[in-house]
């Protein structure tokens, strides 16, 4: 790639091998997170407390990983490329945690949604809501599930807006500092 300013997502100086490795790491991380989501042994109505603990731990992990990703972007050889990887990781973790919350609520209180949710249904509901598509085929039917969905929407807007801007902003700032030799 060249050294001109082609746009915010062009990792100046990164070659095809760095881009390929980033894509491989990102795909692996997304696959691992989805694998954990589908294989986490939380079945059965008796583990409501465990599901709640997993949700709280997941949200705490989300926050910790977000902060860690900002530090890694700052220290990366190719900060913009690292920011793209961080966005994919953080967004996937957000979707997985929220999907577990929706699935757990439906398991704990059947009828919380317009239809019973499998883990795939919960993932689908989370993604369609986050993407503001909202087909209407699955809807929250209780106050608790409507509250969780509302929080999800607000957090999703914050993640997509401020969170991505923050990660890319750190990357762009570091890239510019390095380009001008102020580091």
For residue 123, what are its two tokens? 């993932």
Task: Identify which has the larger pLDDT, 128 or 59.
Answer: 128
- For CA atoms 44, 119, 163, 181, give the dihedral sign: positive
Query: Are 108 and 48 within 8 A, CB to CB?
Result: yes
| pLDDT for the residue 10 | 46
Q: What is the pTM of this model?
A: 0.78
Q: Where are the domains of the chain?
A: 46-180
Residue 101, helix vs strand vs coil: helix
Q: State pLDDT tens for residues 40-75.
A: 877 765 566 776 777 788 888 888 988 888 888 888
pLDDT-based confidence at residue 2 (cuts at 50, 70, 90):
very low
pLDDT-based confidence at residue 9 (cuts at 50, 70, 90):
very low
- 46-180: in CATH 1.10.287.70: yes
> How much is the average pLDDT of 11-25?
80
pLDDT-based confidence at residue 129 (cuts at 50, 70, 90):
very high
| pLDDT for the residue 1 | 40
End-to-end CA distance of the chain: 22
Query: Are 103 and 38 within 8 A, CB to CB?
Result: no
**Rounded mean pLDDT of the chain?**
83
Query: Are 73 and 170 within 8 A, CB to CB?
Result: yes
Flag whether pLDDT at 5 surpasses 70: no
């Amino acid at each position: 790639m060249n050294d001109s300013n082609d746009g915010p997502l062009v990792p100046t100086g990164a070659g095809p091998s760095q881009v390929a490795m980033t894509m491989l790491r990102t795909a692996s991380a997304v696959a691992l997170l989805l694998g954990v989501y589908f294989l986490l042994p939380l079945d059965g109505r008796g583990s409501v407390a465990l599901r709640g603990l997993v949700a709280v731990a997941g949200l705490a992990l989300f926050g910790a990983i977000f902060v860690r990703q900002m530090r890694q972007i700052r220290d990366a050889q190719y900060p913009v490329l690292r920011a793209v990887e961080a966005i994919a990781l953080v967004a996937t973790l957000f979707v997985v945690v929220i999907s577990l919350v929706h699935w757990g609520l439906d398991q704990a209180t059947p009828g919380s949604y317009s239809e019973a949710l499998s883990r795939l249904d919960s993932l689908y509901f989370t993604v369609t809501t986050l993407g503001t598509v909202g087909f209407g085929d699955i809807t929250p039917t209780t106050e608790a599930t409507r509250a969780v969905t509302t929080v999800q929407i607000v957090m999703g807007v914050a993640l997509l807006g401020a969170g991505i801007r923050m990660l890319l902003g750190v990357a762009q700032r570091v890239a510019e500092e390095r380009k001008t030799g102020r580091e």
